[in-house]
Amino acid sequence: MRLPGSTQLILAASFLWVAPPVPAQSVAPVIRLSVDLREAPRRIFHARLILPARPGPLTLLYPEWIPGEHAPDGPVSELVGLRFTAAGKTLPWRRDDLNQYMFHLDIPEGITSVEANYDYLSPALGEGFSAGPSADSFIAALEWNLVVLYPAGQPSDSLLYQASLRLPQGWKFASALTATSQGEDHVDFAPASLTALVDSPVLAGQYLRSINLAPDVTPPHRLNIAADNVATLEMPDDQLAGYSRLVREEGALFGARHYNHYDFLLSLTNNFHANGLEHPQSSDERAPEHMFSNPEQVLLYNSLLAHEFTHSWNGKYRRPAGLATADFNQPMKDDLLWIYEGLTQYIGEMISARSGLRTADDYREALAYTAALLDHRPGRTWRSLEDTSLSAPALYNEGTRNWSSWRRSTDFYDEGWLIWLEADMIIRQQSHGQRSLDDFCRRFYGAPDSGPRVLPYTIEDVVTALNEILPYDWRNFFESRVYQINEHAPLGGIENGGWRLIYNGTPNAQIHAREDVTARADYNFSLGMSVETGAGEKNGRISDVIPGTPAADAGLAPAMRIVSVNGRAFTPAVLREAVDSAQKSTKPIQMTADNAGVGRSFDIPYHGGERYPHLERNAGQPDFLDQSLQPLIPFKP
């Protein structure tokens, strides 16, 4: 048995430290990286690297495994125009035969430094994290892994980079990096380890606003927002207050912070793919431009910043040992993503309610939808939750997901939510409300305060820490939910929390918001499919079908386009009306659909009407779920 104090001491030897900005004792030669963003609106990032070198073979790497992306998705195909020179002469290079991220050079006698010039071409369309669309006419979100090369064979902690940036005229920037000098369109940053550089992106833009959150809290927190126009930078006061409370609530939950300052770097634009990427002292969030003002977008995105911020503790500071690699080209082990992402999902959703960024009702509607969706996944019959963690690189990369419920997806996020909710409810129930998962968070992720650093853990460390909060068979708890195959989603957290999952004809607020934002009609829990409702060719296209449901049994499949319903041309309203009126009829719903140019009719004998999931209170049980949503620092709504 290990006590918390001794745990810290034992693991102290295996800390991977992120180098402080200027390590006093370091003798590592500095690599200079200059990035020119003046053509960012044309989606070209120019880069120049000056690297100390010795005569003989030199191998350089382009980052492949990107922290937080959990996949070998470094966009090496977008690295173009690569040229090396030394002492004014071009140096030939050759890509490795087996590793497309590796470049070989032979440095001639008498050479002490090599210069590399290259471009990164940022895509205009598509998905992806750092490799997704990252620039438009007014915003550039620069993750340094896109524009860096580094010498093979040295840990990223030991390489020192001095970065500088040129910006389009009139643009401003924000970053967790320390600026040492700044001109009108030029900024020099203090030297940082390659680890810290890749973990400190820059948000640049013509319209950029920096807001101090929770000024009463030390260290400082800034919310930096870049947008495509100045009006989008406006933020309702209640949401601003909510994000300040988020800063305080996270501090109260964990009891310590592991950064010297924190910068949210938020791009509000419809031109990027919405997502977030965590870093220890900052986070790179991309969301649609009305994230703060459109009620449906608010509902979908009000936990995005909380999720990425939580990663500063769960993911960046404490990280599964298999994800704490020495450099960006070592493969990562994704087996514990159900903790890294799953617990972050639970905390991010829950703490958004504690912070008043969403109501308890909104939280429960989102939880009901998540639980229902996971419970309607036939893929559960052939693969475990752990298997989705292990398959993360493939699952992140799926693009259009037909038959997604038969595949399963990156379920370790949302099912992690359900599992960690259940762990929390068990602790609350068995300790009669005296303890909770909050105590685990403080013990595992908390004191002492520190700057960025990595303290790796194993599943055994997690089980031990949970047992210190509440003695319980945690090993079997995870074994049965994560590692074994389960036909049904783990709903014990909802039930132990004093609620139950039900279905009725009342629309679910979360589903309604998703239908609105993604232009889709959601019949997952009735017909068993979802249908695109956007204009043009997409109207009526079936985005997905769940095997074993009435739609699937009738022969419908993803990518077919519904042409008519009960003899009337398809519109979302016609389909809804058909589903509703079938409740009073014995006749099947009749559809015709186009399958890549071939038309066919389908009969769906479904009479259950619209069905949406909700949580219903079980009055016989204490409301531990509501307890978990109470702020640690009370406030008046």
Q: Give the shortest CB-455-to-Zn ion separation in angstroms.
A: 18
Q: Give the shortest CB-437-to-Zn ion separation in angstroms.
A: 18
Q: DSSP string of 261-307?
A: SEEEEEEE-TTS--EEEE-SSEEEEEE-TTTTTSHHHHHHHTTHHHH
Closest CA to 308 of 201, 429, 157, 174: 201
Q: Residues 121-160: x/- map of binding to Zn ion (CB under 5 A)? A: ----------------------------------------
Q: Looking at beta carbons only, is 228 or 250 nearer to Zn ion?
A: 250
Closest CA to 356 of 234, 238, 209, 516: 238
Number of residues that bind Zn ion (CB under 5 A): 1
Q: Looking at beta carbons only, is 345 or 530 nearer to Zn ion?
A: 345
Q: Give the shortest CB-396-to-Zn ion separation in angstroms.
A: 11
Q: Looking at beta carbons only, is 315 or 452 nearer to Zn ion?
A: 315
Q: Looking at beta carbons only, is 341 or 411 nearer to Zn ion?
A: 341
Q: Give the shortest CB-302-to-Zn ion separation in angstroms.
A: 16
Q: Give the shortest CB-305-to-Zn ion separation in angstroms.
A: 12
Q: Give the shortest CB-599-to-Zn ion separation in angstroms.
A: 43
Given a contact cutoff of 8 angstroms between Cβ atoms, the answer to whether 542 and 557 are in contact is yes
Cis peptide before 448 (omega within 30 of 0): yes
Q: Looking at beta carbons only, is 200 or 524 nearer to Zn ion?
A: 200
What contacts 24+ positions apart, CB below 8 Å, involve 291-299?
A: 292/234, 292/235, 292/236, 292/239, 292/268, 293/234, 293/236, 295/513, 296/512, 296/513, 296/516, 296/517, 297/513, 297/517, 298/239, 299/358, 299/362, 299/366, 299/509, 299/510, 299/513
Q: Looking at beta carbons only, is 204 or 291 nearer to Zn ion?
A: 291
Please identify which residue in the block is written with the tokens 């809290």.
217
Q: Give the shortest CB-413-to-Zn ion separation in angstroms.
A: 7
Angle, CA 555 vertex, CA 554 and CA 561 arms, to 5°: 110
Closest CA to 514 of 543, 491, 488: 543
Please identify which residue in the block is written with the tokens 């460390």.
461
In 25-78, beta strands by DSSP E: 30-36, 44-52, 56-61
> Can you tell me the distance from the alpha carbon of 523 to that of 505, in angstroms, rounded to the nearest whole number?
11
Angle, CA 525 vertex, CA 520 and CA 527 arms, to 5°: 75
* SS3 state of residue 78: helix
Q: Residues 74-93: x/- map of binding to Zn ion (CB under 5 A)? A: --------------------
> Can you tell me the distance from the alpha carbon of 496 to that of 456, in angstroms, rounded to the nearest whole number?
31
Q: Looking at beta carbons only, is 64 or 341 nearer to Zn ion?
A: 341
* SS3 state of residue 536: helix
- Angle 360-375/509-518 helices, nearest 10 degrees? 80
Give the bridge partners for 37, in sequence order.
Answer: none
What's the token pair of residue 307? Answer: 């999720």
Q: Looking at beta carbons only, is 165 or 198 nearer to Zn ion?
A: 198
> Can you tell me the distance from the alpha carbon of 182 to that of 442, in angstroms, rounded to the nearest whole number?
39
> Nearest residue to Zn ion, using CB?
341
What's the token pair of residue 315? Answer: 């993911």
> Can you tell me the distance from the alpha carbon of 555 to that of 116, in angstroms, rounded to the nearest whole number?
56
Q: Looking at beta carbons only, is 341 or 532 nearer to Zn ion?
A: 341
Please identify which residue in the block is written with the tokens 């050759």.
94
Q: Looking at beta carbons only, is 7 or 389 nearer to Zn ion?
A: 389
> Can you tell me the distance from the alpha carbon of 396 to that of 277, in angstroms, rounded to the nearest whole number?
14
Applying the rule CB under 5 A, the residues between 332 and 351 that interact with Zn ion are 341
Q: Give the shortest CB-347-to-Zn ion separation in angstroms.
A: 11
> Can you tell me the distance from the alpha carbon of 556 to that of 131, in angstroms, rounded to the nearest whole number?
34
Applying the rule CB under 5 A, the residues between 175 and 194 that interact with Zn ion are none
Q: Give the shortest CB-276-to-Zn ion separation in angstroms.
A: 7
Q: Looking at beta carbons only, is 7 or 344 nearer to Zn ion?
A: 344
Q: DSSP string of 418-484?
A: HHHHHHHHHHHHHTTTS--HHHHHHHHH-SSP-SSEEEEE-HHHHHHHHHHHS-S-HHHHHIIIIIS
Q: Looking at beta carbons only, is 162 or 314 nearer to Zn ion?
A: 314
Q: Give the shortest CB-252-to-Zn ion separation in angstroms.
A: 21
User: Which ranges of 483-529 would DSSP assign to H, the alpha helix?
Assistant: 492-496, 509-518
Q: Give the shortest CB-182-to-Zn ion separation in angstroms.
A: 32
Q: Looking at beta carbons only, is 341 or 415 nearer to Zn ion?
A: 341
> Can you tell me the distance from the alpha carbon of 468 to that of 408, in angstroms, rounded to the nearest whole number?
34
Q: Give the shortest CB-122-to-Zn ion separation in angstroms.
A: 22
Q: Give the shortest CB-345-to-Zn ion separation in angstroms.
A: 7
Applying the rule CB under 5 A, the residues between 458 and 497 that interact with Zn ion are none
Q: Give the shortest CB-393-to-Zn ion separation in angstroms.
A: 15
Q: Looking at beta carbons only, is 65 or 161 nearer to Zn ion?
A: 65
* Helix or strand run (H / E) with residue 582: none
Judged by the rule CB under 5 A, the positions of this chain that interact with Zn ion are: 341
